[in-house]
Chains A and B, each alone.
Chain A
Amino acid sequence: MVEATRPRSPSSGSPPAPPAEESAESEASQTTALNERALRLAEFYRGKIETVPKVPVRSLRDFSLWYTPGIAAVSREIEHDADRAFHMTGRWNTIAILTDGSRVLGLGNIGPQAALPVMEGKALLFKYLGGVDAVPLPVNASTPEALIETALRIAPAFGGINLEDIASPKCFQVLEELQRRLPIPVWHDDQLGTAAATLAGLINALELTGRDMSTIRTVMLGAGAANLVTVRLLVRMGHDPHRITVVDQRGILEAERPDMDEMQLHNRWKYRVALETDGGGRKGTLAEAMAGADVVLAASTPVPGTIHQEWVRSMAPHPIVFALANPLPEIWPAEARAAGAAIVATGRSDFPNQVNNSLIFPAVFRGVLDARARAIPDDIVIAAAQELARYASMKGLSDQHLLPTMDERDCFPHVAAAVAEAAVALGIARVRASREEFFEQARRIMARPAALVVALQESGLMDPMPDEPVPPGKPR
């Protein structure tokens, strides 16, 4: 039995001193134990999802309905009206998880083959949380054009495409072009999912500290996919772009920075943000950016101490600090608190206020698939964020409860219904229904996979974890 051991001794010394229970030593031993177990279980189960029939097969004669000759009639009907595929095949609920493996987790460019276990895990999350049938598809694609071409070619099989773990800025080009060229929703979780979850947390943090989006000054630390999209969404929600200061490794991103011309050639998305925000009227370093700011949204380097306590002290009263780098936040929550932060969020589940894109993507896809939305425009992303924020505040908002946790899975059908409703309102839904109807459908579909897993386990068709004791009375 492998149980994560709790900390023994706090680390001695190397600044900044993390809180006692987060000592590097216990962190390392926990990680090692987890890694070993993941390896063993991967080899035991050999894949995390499988294809399971969803129609009765009483005898082989039924195949004349599910397959030839009967199925030809279904094909003929779809040949006449392609739209019928959404009614007569699994296309309505099936998405591709497409990756070139160019930026997988924090592992970098490990390629498509090594990306497969991650995509399988994502497919499991999609199914278990969102009721979405997701097909892991790591592909050999050395250029953005090849990846785009691949997505266009496979689109007939899918009701949506989830791009995953693609390097920035390539991911912007791929998403933009596919959103333009495909009549089905295309999503890139590292851009949109993370941005939406951040936005949801920020909406509630502003509420708790009595602030208004239109007057705050915000520092964005990191100019990767998520933060660049977050800037776009913030501006869409009424944040003054001239009060946003984006900071990357070279300091404040402003229109006269010496690397602007190079940026225009190699990362026009970041270049545009530089022009639009122009450093929020500031030049220089992170320290200069943070002075007087209301909010810092950090999605940069997983090194505690990236944000100094004194810089938090220099912020406006009751500042909001989101230190979202994983696995190590840019500043430990306790340190941010000690420096005056009113609200602290991280990307980790072991601290309060986890900003987690798993709260967003299953529900967004449930919503756009149920409404058969043609696309996922920013207004839908914002609608998802607002609904997630609303759900958390309905459950009682506090500086320790900014967002729902993964234990509050009731939030998913609510977010899905809000997404579907937004698609209808935007005129991009091919299914029109009321919010209540979308909610009921989402709840029903989302409840099924968990019940399925229980049924498979209880019937013995799914092996129990080999390293866990079998409950009494259960066959092994």
Chain B
Amino acid sequence: MKRSNPPVPQRPPESQAHGAPIHARLATEADLPALVPLIIRLKRLNEEFDSMLKVRPDAEAQAEAVLKAELKSPKSLIIAAEGAGPDKDKVVGVVRAAIRERLFYMPETEGVILDIYLLPLYRRHGAGRYLVEHTIAQLKERGAGIVTVEFPAQNEIATRFYAKCGFRPITAHHARMA
């Protein structure tokens, strides 16, 4: 890019091989300051769907502590999504996933997508799909024979999105106030 160009705002180019304007990689501790706000955005979005998902006042500290521990754990997978072009080094999305043992069912190893969030500007052009497929591949590499995902039951956008990705409901998770 020529340096003499006026500083007009630019979109991320859609020139990645997979067509999505993002690039996924394993997160490191250096990403923590960028990842925490993304997790908090997701939790606040979940709260929009259901009052039983009310975000704790200490959620930010919680996110930081949890991510810090999970970054070191072999049973966890934290992925950072970066933008492309001028946003190449900007973290624009996050995935939190875990490896769990299924005690009674087969396949025995399950990869769980706990949290997945992309900033709005980076959601289109198959970016979400790319991030999910990338995560599934990483979980498979860690031995997962089945992949599950958790999200608010009222989130119809997510329901439709994961159906398109080949997911279907297998267990239900109901709640009432105690």
Contacts and interface: CB of A to CB of B under 8 A. Distances in A.
A255 B45 contact: no
Contacts of A256: 119-121
Interface stretch (A150-158, A177-185, A275-283, A345-353): A275-283
A118 B99 CA distance: 63
By DSSP majority rule, is chain B's interface helix, strand, loop, or mixed? Answer: helix
B9 A242 contact: yes
A246 to B, nearest CB: 14
Interface in B77-125: 119-121
B47 to A, nearest CB: 9
Contacts of B8: 240, 242, 281
Interface string A260-304: 111011000001001100101100000000000000000000000
B31 interface: no
A258 interface: yes
- Which secondary structure dominates chain A's binding surface? helix
Contacts of A265: 48
B120 A255 contact: yes
Contacts of B75: none
B9 A255 contact: no
A454 to B, nearest CB: 57
A260 B119 CA distance: 9
Nearest to B46: A261
B119 A278 contact: no
B131 to A, nearest CB: 16
A261 B120 contact: yes
B119 A255 contact: yes
A281 B8 CA distance: 7
Contact of B48 (A240, A242, A261, A271): A261
Interface string B4-30: 000111000000000000000000000
Nearest to B124: A275
A275 B121 contact: yes
Contacts of A240: 8
A264 B9 contact: no
A274 B41 CA distance: 17
Given A242-B9, A280-B9, A281-B8, A264 B120 contact: yes
B41 A278 contact: no
A137 B48 CA distance: 35
B9 A281 contact: yes
Interface string B55-79: 0000000000000000000000000
B5 to A, nearest CB: 13
A278 B45 CA distance: 20
21 contacts: A240-B8, A255-B120, A255-B121, A256-B119, A256-B121, A258-B41, A261-B41, A261-B44, A261-B45, A261-B48, A261-B120, A262-B44, A262-B45, A264-B120, A274-B120, A275-B120, A275-B121, A278-B9, A278-B121, A280-B9, A281-B7
Interface of A: 240, 242, 255-256, 258, 260-262, 264-265, 271, 274-275, 278, 280-281
